[in-house]
Amino acid sequence: MTYPTDRPATWFVTGTSRGLGLELVKELLRRGENVAATSRSLSELQKSLGGMDTSRLLELSVDLSDANEVNRAIQSTINHFGGLDVVVNNAGNGYLAAVEEVSDADARTMFDVQVFGVLNVVRAALPGFRAQRSGHIINVSSILGLLSFPGWSLYAAGKFALTAISESLAAEVSDYGITVNLVEPGYMRTDFLTVSLAQPSTTSDAYPAIRTMVDQHVNEIPGNQPGDPAKVAAAIIIVATTGDAPLHQFLGSDSIALAEGRLQTLAADLEASRQLALTTDFSA
């Protein structure tokens, strides 16, 4: 994608009422860009932007799991600003529970936003991007899109799915001048672990370590995360404006360290698998 330098770019950002999404909207408005911001709580977004120049802001209340609503939101953005340049799929919630504790309803709710919501936004934006032969899709994942931990299975499953979607999408649209990046931050100092962290309605005494982890994430980690959401927002803008970021853009010292550990584990598993793997081909 060629990022516009002769006019304000138009960004469509999901999940903007708090945390990283809110910081991204603030920084884009300070830069004078056009921003269409989706939120489940427009009043919260408006309150958080108090005192800022919002003349270049289009606020949209959108159910991301509803394809028709998403299509209307994308079209409203194009009609309002005269085009669309960058899409940032940022909306999502945390979920902490043992695999056995994850209900069908909770799993579907999580995937509605983290997977189907992203697919809806991508499908709505791509026809216009293809027609203009430019556009940028930035999917905000997590280091948990590369690895997982006990208790994080559902959240990580959504992010793993986002990794697969992004990798395939990047290859599919590159010939149309469209860029795709997957941003994978570590822990950021937001209210994600308090306001946005869901738990199952029914928990099991069989997993006391998960309960301990829940307590730690609610009581100890908030306020001690290494990642600065304002700096992560600035990094996302760099990813969009320079156009030379890798498909997997890790952000945060913890994200880098965990990714390096994951590579070492995979390398060890590859070598441990080799002898048996080579016995499963048809014989020559």
Is the model more confident about 261 or about 196?
261
State the catalytic residue, choosing from 17, 141, 153, 166.
141
What is the pTM (predicted TM-score) of this model?
0.93
Predicted confidence at residue 194, as pLDDT, reads 67
Please say if 231 is a catalytic residue. no
pLDDT, tens digit (0-9, with 9 covering 90-100), for 132-151: 999 999 999 999 999 998 88
103: annotated active-site residue: no
In the predicted model, what is the mean pLDDT of residues 120-140?
A: 98
Q: Name, in order, each residue with C-beta under 8 angstroms of 183's C-beta and a sequence gap of 6 or more.
A: 138, 139, 140, 141, 232, 235, 236, 239, 249, 251
Catalytic residue among 95, 155, 187, 207: 155
> pLDDT tens digits, residue range 197-242?
777 877 778 888 888 877 787 777 777 777 789 999 999 999 999 9
Indicate the SS3 state at residue 235: helix
The amino acid at residue 253 is: S
Q: Which of 12-26, 56-70, 215-229 is least confident?
A: 215-229
Residue-range domains of the chain with CATH: 10-256 (3.40.50.720)
Decide if 31 contacts 23 (C-beta within 8 A): no
Q: Is 155 a catalytic residue?
A: yes
Q: Please give the average per-residue pLDDT across 115-123, as a whole number.
A: 98
* Nearest residue to 218 via CA among 206, 226, 210, 227: 210
Q: What is the pLDDT of residue 197?
A: 72
Q: Tell me the pLDDT tens digit for each residue of 152-197.
A: 999 999 999 999 999 999 999 999 999 999 999 988 787 776 666 7
Q: What is the pLDDT of residues 95-112, one digit of tens each?
A: 888 999 999 999 999 999
Structure-token match 């003349």, residue found: 55
Contacts of 280 (CB under 8 A, 6+ apart): none
φ, ψ for residue 135, nearest 5 deg: 150, 160
Catalytic residue among 159, 187, 207, 255: 159
Amino acid identity for residue 10 in this structure: T
Residue 228 pLDDT:
86
Residue type, 59: E
Q: How far apart, in whole angstroms, are the C-alpha atoms of residue 129 and residue 115?
A: 21
